[in-house]
Structure 1
Amino acid sequence: MAIKPKFTLQNYKTPASRQFTDREEFVDAFINAIGKEEEQYKVLTYYGIGGIGKTSLRKKLGEILKNEYPNHVWAAIDFEVPNFRDIHNALFVLRKHFRTQYQIRFPLFELAYSIYWSKVNPNVSVNKDSLPFLEEGGLVADLVSTIGDIPVVGIAPKILTLAMKSKEIAPKYLNKVMKTELIKLEQYEPNEIMQRLPMYFAADLKEYKPEKSQVVIFFDTYEALWGKSRTEGNAFTQDEWVREFIAQLPEVLWVICGREKLRWEELDSDWGDVLEQHLIGQLSDNDIRIFLESCGITDNKIQKNIMQSSLGVPYYLDICVDTYEEIMGKFGRKPLESDFGKSPKEVFERFIKYLDQSEIETLKLLAFPRFFDYELFKSLVMNFNTGFPLTAFDSLCRFSFIQEVQPGKMDMHELMRTSLMEHQRDDIVQGTHTIIFHFYDQLLQGTSERELSSQGVTTLSEALHHHIQFASVEDVSNWFEEATKVFYQYKQWHYIVPIYEEFIKHITENSNDSLLLAHHLTNLAGIYNDLWQFGRSESMLINAKDIYEKLLGSDHIDLVKTLSRLAVVYFIKGIKMDQAESLLFQALDIQIKNFGEHSPELAVTYTSLGKLYRIKNLDEKSELYYMNALKIRIEHLGETDVRTAYSYNNLGWIQLKRKKFEEAETNFKKSIEIREKLLNRKHRDLAIPINNLGRCYHKQGKLNFAEELYLEALKIKENKFGEDHPSIAASYHDLGRLYFQQEQFDLSRHYYEEALRIREGYLGEVHPGVGTILIDMAELEMTLGNRDKALELYQNAKRISETTIGMPVDSITRLNKGLNS
């Protein structure tokens, strides 16, 4: 969303913590930095204790830019907002602001962000709801409108074609940046793309910012990047992306506001020439007097008292003003010097003294949540019977230490929260966390599929935060597994990854139960497997495996899931195939020992063995294990479960490969029949078995039946995935072969060329899947008498066969025959 104030103060005074008075030296440093030479790094930092006025200084500097330097380009990110602390979210917000306010285009960044988003959210379609910037138009919007989604592979040819036609990208920019980066983007893992987002953002900003305009970027509440988990070990890791961002943009003036002086020189002494750091101390007496008079406090003695007790810190000045107004409003008298304390602690105590008891008790409760809205306020007031009127919520929010951070969501100043928490009884602490936990837990149970990505994630995170404050690690574990089922139900498990990581950290720090840790490491690794982030899952699974084997031995039933998931990592990545086989048999032996040879638990392991042997071209073994999995599922799940349908399709596929056509046909039909009853004929899960049945008919020479099924499967795929999805290439290839046999050579060439275009896009020009299409195309050209063209295609296919592994034996036989003809 656009960078703009989260709240308005039209009906209230402007607090000291939200206004800036006369600190000329800090303003002068900023103005001097604006005039620095281009391509010369400059980072201004303003640091000081909480409440000293860093944010108000940042806002003042923004006003200076707006009023005195209207041609300059600037934006601000406040890390007080948790979502802004992640690199991709922070850059997304900056992009939105620059595009909206200054019409700066970010085609490369938007494309990289969209591909990153698609890779970490593989089950969510790209549209205007999931990526709102599509409404603004541009290159990515054109891509989605053309092909219906953002494919994670095969995007380069399509996007290059669109880019050449687009007014969004200057030809010179396309030549020097886009072409090479598009190819790389397809190959990167999501984390690799995320690390490079500053580079893509910087390239766009350099290309499209207005000429002769200085760019200024503010980072506020810098310490919030670490949350509450700052240690010496992570002192330089949490903000690593910030330093990379700065390194990408030497022409930008960077302004960082936080509580501590930056220590980047410890990493690299060159940062000493870049950083200009200013300590913000207390407000001057003159600043304080100006502020107090603006609030109607003109008594000289009271002013001096407030100057002394507040130590010149804006937060305490605000509390003094709140106290002054409470006395005037509630007691109808003019405040006295004795009404105000002589130290920051007494400032708080005197403020509390003049509040109603119902206000005090309610504020103490609201100090617990990280933010609150009316519904949570209502729940706390009613559960603890504080006596505060539910209709007076807005009145409670009048205090200077409560701010609206998002529409309807309020936040309490950390110093006030700390002061209020010091006055809490232990039973109240536990009880309040319990009430807040149940509030969020109840919200989570009513969360719909559509709300999971927004409300659901926040609700789960807040529920976990409060649950761990009072419950045992074991109790939290049981709740967490139950609470996250809704995310698995709707295949939205990717949303819970950061929350799951937070919970695992809690287990590590607060429990000696290594087995519980291993259990959750295996669960999180399973999510990473589903997201194809095998680099992350592998280390977790190895850690979990070591724990289980050390504490339980190598044949304990709890080890099975870990072994199976680690094996999947190995054989999907195409590495350690023998080790993957060994792991699966270890898991199988454990299951048989514990459950017997016909347990439903064995079906998943048999299926994994079937996949492993199919990849290794050990087809007889593959069929055996697929058959075993099917038998078990029929016995325990029956013929109407979707998992049984998957097993029928798996078995049919390997039987087709082994030319057992009648058996394959029967199994494909059964898979289709089961899925059709559970889903519908047009559901995406039907495309694979329908297409496979078409292949079965094709192999048997039943070309008309095959064509009908190929086209049906193709239509399902196009409706779901768009025109250039990798699965579309397989359908085009099948249709090309079919039309060749029917001697419809023009149609055959058309589908071969389309299949080749898509496959080269996502596999590259040197791949066995490309080679098989080239051989088919060569046979077509030879049949049409185009011998030279055919030989050229054969030679290209030969080069592929000589430099890659995996081209089918029958394809190589046809290749050699063609070259010798």
Structure 2
Amino acid sequence: MPIGPTTYFGKERVFVDREACIQTFRENIQNSGNLEYNVLFYHGIAGIGKSKLQKELQKILDEEYPEIFWAAIDLNTKTYREVGTFLIALRNKIQEKYKAKFYLFNIAHAIYWKKLHPEIPLLEENYPVIKEGKFFSKIIDVLNEFGPTRLIWDIINNAPDNIKRYYKEQAIDINKLVSMEAPEIEKLLPGFFAADFTSYLGTNSKAYIFIDTYEALWDGLREKGGFHEKDEWIRENLIPNMKGVSWVICGRDELLWVPDCDEDWKMYLEQHPVDELPEKYCQEFLEDCGIENKDIRNIIIKASEGVPYYLNLSVDTYEKIRKNRQPVSEDFGKTQKEIFNTFVKYLNDNEIRALKVLSVPNSWDRALFEILMKKFDSGYPAGAFSELIKFSFIKKDTDGKCSVHQLMRKSLKEFHDPTDRKNIHKYLLDFYSKKLENIDIKAITPEHETALTEAFYHAKESLEAEELCEWFISVSDPFYRAAFWQLISPFYEEILQILEVNVSPEHLLVGVTLNYLGILYTNMGEYEKALPLYQRALDIREKVLGPQHPDVATTLNNLAGLYRQMGEYEKALPLYQRDLEISEKVLGPQHPDVATTLNNLAGLYRQMGEYEKALPLYQRALEIIEKVLGPQHPDVATTLNNLAGLYRQMGEYEKALPLYQRALEIIEKVLGPQHPDVATTLNNLAGLYESMGEYEKALPLYQRALDIREKVLGPQHPSVATTLNNLAGLYESMGEYEKALPLYQRDLEISEKVLGPQHPSVATTLNNLAGLYESMGEYEKALPLYQRALDIREKVLGPQHPSVATTLNNLAGLYESMGEYEKALPLYQRALEIIEKKLGPKHPNTVTIKNNYNLLLSKMSEGDEEK
């Protein structure tokens, strides 16, 4: 019988889920330490998803076993199919992720390569670059000139102690190596590689190496030599030399190492099929059956969920239609009754009824199964859970959750009474909503997240669009206050689409949803996404509610806050002022929303350096909030934080400290220790201690703030950059420059990426990074950073801002350190002029700049006298 894919499409063909492959890998991890050699091989037809499976397994290592070392090579790259280039590629991938050194292998491979190509010099253009510094470059020079071996040893003996010690411990015989021919050296390369790798990894660590597209080793070589010669270097040389390393290999055909090569592999080789039908073969099958229209093929494949029987039925349908007319896309993708009949064949009525009920939830466990069986009178015994899950169309997860196969689920939905199905959705909406009642925002669990996700799914299926929006605003509020913004934002995006389609793009609830989405994106640092949402929300609310409505004021406040965070203060100011005017007029001067706007407007003035305007606004906001909301409300903590920050900037530390401490006490008590607002207060309190010179109190506060922000907001959030900047500044103050430098660099990378290259926060980081380089004596690196920081601050903040004075002072100090006094003096003069005008003559910053200026005058005077 000719070989071909048709045997994969028999009606009784069963396909295995990938869960088995993943579970096998998990078990392999647990047992890997018990084996001297460990090879896990997955095989299946080309395109079946083996590469994706490898990615999943690597993801498991990254997320669940970060202590396990791994690297991956795909033999689909033709040059990786021989031992030398394979090991070079593997070495490069390892060095991309880890700091491993391959001293032995690098020399051995260079000698090997030179033996293969004696007429070609070892140059960067034709030889894999080895980044081992001048040490290895000298060895390359010896090999290019065919110098005596002793010169190589001279280079090793003059290398740094760690390199010299390594070569002596490994006892490499370079003389012998140079005397060998290339094929002989090639056999030794895995051994040298293994020695270097083992030296780096140690004896107690676990490591996995993934090899993909294993069948490529035979590409074009099947007629040459023996079959098992093609992978002999892996089977007989590489793997045996790397004891303790585990291998995950994927290939098309099952390995025959045990029967054909060595019976001992039975102890170390475990093989598993990946029996799932890939789209590529679905396409080929349908094309072979005469379905030339790609759109029709795609619809069939999508609907089939990989079930071959569905493909066969679709071909039957295609051929029947073609007898009368040309088939079109609309003829396909429907749930065919034959599919339903096939699924339910040999099932009784009670079992069919039970499956219809169970096809409504996305998944279910034993408890929910029993509830649904009793509630909806399926006739199926509530205690027969174990019997039901034995069916092949029930998928069982490792966490005890079960679900109906997707294609069968579609079929059951198609043949399920809509009213009955909607009632089940309503019941499940209520079931999951009850799990979301009275949530403590300090103790939200993954179970709560799952309940919200499931409740939203059932709400979509049972509520009208307006009901859905109002329900979700209410039920998601605890998640918003707990900063689960990434969880709830996709739900709001979906609600927005539903409202626009089913109600109207100009409906008031569309404006509400846009406003919520804008807030979420702002909180997540995605300002470019938030801006058009706020603008559209403002347009809808002004149009529907009128320009003086409180909701218009709310959107103005949010839009102003976004511009403020983007550093566009001139756009934010009139929006805050208009917001305050509306709020006071409509809500009254003692309303909490008025306090919010006062707080925000004061913050804007503070950022603009107008402290005298900010102070009374903060004080009035605090008075309103404490009176209306009570002294323990989170908004009280926010205002205390802001007021303390203003006092700190004004140099009044003794007023700031108790305010920060009270704010931290409130926020931890109300929102829990992992909330972003806690991180904000920790960051601020640490900054105050730093300003007071109490570094040992500041350090753990900055570290805790960074940990919270990275965990809750993600590693690329602007608030993470702020904390990195502050922590780096503290290390700099403590004289630990090597700890400060990478923190400033990471801060700059995040800030430029998220905020843009002209943002004031970027200027702050540039200023600080320049200061660090100055402290390290690297003036040439500091100068362009100060100049760029000054340019940004003058452009964005205006030439009279205190931050401009700070940068002028720093730039002047750098010129002074470089001995260029004539450049430094006018900068000090301008900085002093700005700072005295803005902060007054007694402010610490004013005193500092004045002292710097006077000291420079003294130096210049002394220099003149010497002349």
1:26 equivalenced with 2:5 (yes/no):
yes
Q: How does 1:386-405 map to 2 (within 5 A)?
A: 386-404=378-396
Partner of 1:165: 99
The Cα offsets for residues 15-65 of structure 1, whole Å up to 9 and x where unpaired, read as xxxxxxx9943279xxxxxxxxxxxxxxxxx9x9x9897967999999xxx
Work out whether 1:759 is the aligned partner of 2:691: no
The equivalent of 2:557 in structure 1 is 564
Alignment pair present for 1:431 and 2:423: yes
Amino acid at match of 2:615: E
Distance of aligned partners of 1:23 and 1:423 in 2 relative to their CA distance in 1, 3 Å threshold: farther
Distance in 2 of aligned mates of 1:440 and 1:409: 15
- Residue of structure 2 in register with 1:368 after alignment: 360
The structural deviation recorded for 1:426 is 4.7
Q: Match for residue 524 of structure 2?
A: 531
Is 1:257 paired with 2:271? no
What SS class does the counterpart of residue 279 from structure 2 fall into? strand
- Corresponding position of 1:541: 534
Alpha-carbon deviation of 1:351? 8.6
Whether 1:605 and 2:600 are equivalent positions in the alignment is no
Is the 1:54–1:257 Cα contact (8 Å) retained in structure 2? no
Q: Which residue of 2 aligns with 1:134?
A: 66
Distance 1:480 1:361, change over 3 A: same
In structure 1, C-alpha distance between the alignment counterparts of 2:68 and 2:532, rounded to whole Å? 41
Amino acid at match of 2:658: K
Query: 1:670 and 2:655 equivalent?
Result: no
Q: Is the 8 A contact 2:300 2:314 kept in 1?
A: no
Aligned counterparts, 1:632-781, within 5 A: 632-659=624-651, 661=652, 665-676=654-665, 679=668, 684=679, 686-694=681-689, 706-708=692-694, 710-721=695-706, 727=723, 729-730=725-726, 733=729, 750-751=735-736, 754-756=739-741, 758-763=743-748, 767-771=763-767, 774=770
Aligned-partner Cα distance in 2 for 1:379–1:464: 20
Give the one of 487, 490, 511 matched to 2:503: 511
User: Aligned pairs, how many?
Assistant: 557
Distance 1:98 1:623 in 2: 54
1:76: how far off? 5.8
Does the residue aligned with 1:707 lie in a helix, a strand or coil? coil
Q: Per-residue CA shift, 1:1-21, capped at 9, x if unaligned?
A: xxxxxxxxxxxxxxxxxxxxx
CA displacement, residues 76-129 of structure 1 (integer Å, 9 cap, x when unaligned): 669xxxxxxxxxxx97x64242588xxxx9xxxx7xxxxxxxxxxxxxxxxxxx
DSSP 3-state at the match of 1:609: helix
1:594 and 2:580 correspond: no
Greater Cα offset, 724-733 or 378-387: 724-733
Equivalent residues in 2 for 1:190-229 (5 A)?
210=211, 213=214
**Which of 1 and 2 has higher RCO (CA within 8 Å, sep 6+)?**
1
2:805 aligned to which of 805, 809, 815: 809
C-alpha distance in structure 2 between counterparts of 1:68 and 1:716, whole Å: 46
Matched, 1:621 2:616: no
How far apart, CA to CA, are the structure 1 residues paired with 2:523 and 2:450? 22
Letter in 1 for 2:469: S
Give the counterpart letter for 2:64 in structure 1. P
Q: CA deviation at 1:805?
A: 2.4
Distance 2:623 2:763 in 1: 36
Q: What CA deviation, in whole Å up to 9, does each residue of 1:465-487 have, x standing for no partner?
A: 22232322233223212322332
TM-score, L = length of structure 1: 0.56
Cα pair 2:519 2:530 within 8 Å, conserved: yes
Give the distance between the partners of 2:637 and 2:20, measured in 1 at CA.
65
Would the aligned equivalents of 1:675 and 1:685 in 2 still touch at CA under 8 Å?
A: no
Partner of 1:482: 474
What is the CA–CA distance in structure 1 between the aligned matches of 2:594 and 2:65, rounded to whole Å? 46
> Take 1:423 and 1:98, find their aligned partners in 2: how far apart are those partners?
41
**Aligned equivalents of 1:645, 1:449: Cα separation in 2:** 17
Secondary structure, counterpart of 2:693 in structure 1 = helix
CA distance in 1, matches of 2:562, 2:582: 20
Q: Distance in 2 between matches of 1:76 and 1:381?
A: 38
Equivalent in the alignment of 2:34: none
Inter-partner Cα distance in structure 1 for 2:662 and 2:17: 68
Please report the TM-score for the alignment, with normalisation by the length of structure 2: 0.53
Q: 1:491 aligns with which of 463, 483, 496?
A: 483
CA contact (8 A) 2:664 2:682 kept: no
1:437–1:463 Cα contact (<8 Å) kept: yes
Distance in 1 between residues matched to 2:554 and 2:339, nearest whole Å: 58
Partners of 1:215 and 1:447 in 2: CA distance: 55
SS in 1 for 2:383: helix
Distance 2:645 2:429 in 1: 49
- Aligned equivalent of 1:521, options 503, 514, 524: 514
CA distance in 2, matches of 1:350, 1:72: 27
- What SS does structure 2 have at the residue aligned with 1:652? helix
User: Counterparts of 1:754 and 1:352 in 2: how far apart (Å)?
Assistant: 66
In structure 1, C-alpha distance between the alignment counterparts of 2:6 and 2:58, rounded to whole Å: 24
CA separation in 1, counterparts of 2:354 and 2:554? Answer: 48
Distance 2:778 2:300 in 1: 75
Gaps of 5+ in 1: 1-21, 29-45, 79-89, 111-130, 140-159, 177-206, 217-253, 263-271, 284-290, 292-306, 317-342, 699-705, 738-746, 782-788
The C-alpha deviation readout for 1:444-489, integer Å capped at 9, x for no partner, is 4488879967443433222222223232223322321232233224
**Residues 772 and 811 in structure 1, CA contact (< 8 A), matched pair in contact too:** no
Indicate how the Cα distance of structure 1 residues 569 and 215 shifts in structure 2: closer, same or farther if over 3 A, else same.
farther
1:516-563, CA deviations, whole angstroms, 9 ceiling, x for partnerless residues?
Answer: 111112112211111101122222222222221222222222223322
Cross-structure match for 2:26: none
Q: Are residues 74 and 499 of structure 1, via their aligned partners in 2, closer, same or farther at CA, if it must alter by over 3 Å?
A: farther
Cα distance, 1:650–1:451 mapped onto 2, change above 3 Å: closer
Q: Distance in 1 between matches of 2:739 and 2:492?
A: 43
Amino acid at match of 1:559: V
Residue 419 of structure 1 and its aligned partner are, at CA, apart by 4.8
Alignment correspondent of 2:371: 379
Please tell me whether residue 550 in structure 1 is matched to residue 543 in structure 2.
yes
Residue aligned with 1:611, SS? helix
Would you say the 8 A contact 1:571–1:580 is kept in 2?
Answer: yes
* Deviation digits for residues 304-346 of structure 1 (CA, Å, limit 9, x no counterpart): xxx9xx9955999xxxxxxxxxxxxxxxxxxxxxxxxxx9747
Aligned to 2:846: none
Distance in 1, matches of 2:20 and 2:475, equals: 45
Aligned AA for 1:805?
Answer: R
Q: Secondary structure, in 3 states, of the residue corresponding to 1:165? A: coil
SS at match of 1:468: helix
Amino acid of the structure 2 residue aligned with 1:555: Q
Query: Is 1:584 matched with 2:576?
Result: yes
The alpha-carbon deviation at position 684 of structure 1 amounts to 4.8
The AA in structure 1 aligned to 2:665 is E
Partner of 2:461, secondary structure, is coil
| 1:428 CA drift (Å) | 1.9
Distance 1:466 1:798 in 2: 56
Alignment of 1:308-457 (within 5 A): 313=313, 345=337, 355-404=347-396, 407-414=399-406, 416-445=408-437, 454-457=446-449
- Match of 1:26, as an amino acid? P
Q: Which amino acid aligns with 1:707?
A: G
C-alpha RMSD of the superposition: 5.5
1:624 Cα deviation after fit: 3.9
Aligned amino acid, residue 693 of structure 2: E
Equivalent AA in structure 2 for residue 564 of structure 1: N
